[in-house]
Amino acid sequence: MAHRWYGLRSLSVETAGAGGEAGTYAHDVLAVVLRITGAVPSVLLWQRAREPQAGRWSLPGGRLGPDEDVEASVRRHLAEKVDLAEVAHVEQLGVFSDPHRGPAPRRIATAFLGLVPTDADPAVPDDTAWHRVDRLPETAFDHGAITRDGLDRLRAKLSYTNIGFALAPAEFTVSELRDLYAAALGHRVSATNLQRVLTRRGVLVPTGEIAASGPAGGRPAAVFRYSERGLRVTDPFAALRPPGEPG
């Protein structure tokens, strides 16, 4: 029978060297913090000063503390690298647990995705910098793969949620938002379509203001904002919805 261990205080009392008691593991939290810079997303990385992997770049994070859950922990560790108030959205990506994802002793990591609006440019410590995701430096451990997972998650959610609120400034024109989406998605985006889709879904609302016209002339653009500042799934998204309900 299995599960005998459950509820036992200590199955094994041998001390497994410096790695902690057998069957327990250090648990880390990591954050893929993304921000649109110019025409591409960038990720927040810090450079390791010492072994292992000295000189390589790591995702922000740290060890899970005894009195916090993983989300509280990642927020605590993030606060050491950026102003938490600038991180507009945080969600869990998943667990990375390959026994050989780093040197012994083994570490388990729960990864998160964090998003920072373009108009925020938080100060960062000396060892920390934004790196374009299309030109990542040498990353430590599996942090490159985790970064790609985070970017994939962002791209997927841009199309069926209002997650753009966490990348955009509080107010913006449709053109600015188009550039933002194009940078995040990695392909051109139609401003016409973007505006229609997002307003029809109710995620974008006009403020009524008109932006000062750009440097090269042209018709001044209307100012919009996201109707909600928390994550919401907005796609109809459900073929086979309950009969009689609107799409």
Partner DNA sequence: GTGGTTTTCGCCTATTGGTCGAAAACGTGG
Partner DNA sequence: CCACGTTTTCGACCAATAGGCGAAAACCAC
What is the pairing mode between strands 204-210 and 107-116? unpaired
Phi/psi at 21 (nearest 5 deg)? -60, 150
CB of 206 to DNA, least distance (A): 8
Q: Which of residues 171-210 bind DNA (CB under 7 A)?
A: 173-175, 190-193, 195-197, 200-201, 210
- Rounded distance, CA 106 to CA 57, Å? 19
Q: Which of residues 59-78 bind a copy of itself (CB under 8 A)?
A: 61-70, 77
- SS3 call for 175: helix
CB of 106 to a copy of itself, least distance (A): 7
Asked if 214 touches a copy of itself (CB under 8 A), the answer is no
Task: Compare residues 17 and 242 and give the one whose CB is closer to DNA.
Answer: 242
Task: Compare residues 118 and 161 and give the one whose CB is closer to a copy of itself.
Answer: 161
Q: Which of residues 137-196 bind a copy of itself (CB under 8 A)?
A: 158-160, 181, 185, 187-190, 193-194
| Structure token pair of residue 85 | 């108030």
Query: What's the Cα-to-Cα distance from 172 to each of 75, 126, 211, 224, rounded to whole Å?
Result: 28, 31, 8, 5
Asked if 46 touches a copy of itself (CB under 8 A), the answer is yes
- Choose the one of DNA, a copy of itself, none that binds residue 63, judging by a C-beta under 5 to 8 angstroms depending on kind: a copy of itself
Q: Which of residues 66-85 bind DNA (CB under 7 A)?
A: none
Establish whether the linkage from the previous residue to 105 is cis, with ω within 30° of 0.
Answer: yes
Q: Which of residues 82-121 bind a copy of itself (CB under 8 A)?
A: 92, 94-95, 97-99, 105-106, 108, 110
- Rounded distance, CA 245 to CA 153, Å? 29
- Choose the one of a copy of itself, DNA, none that binds residue 216, judging by a C-beta under 5 to 8 angstroms depending on kind: DNA
Q: Which of 143, 164, 144, 142 is nearest to 154 (CA)?
A: 164
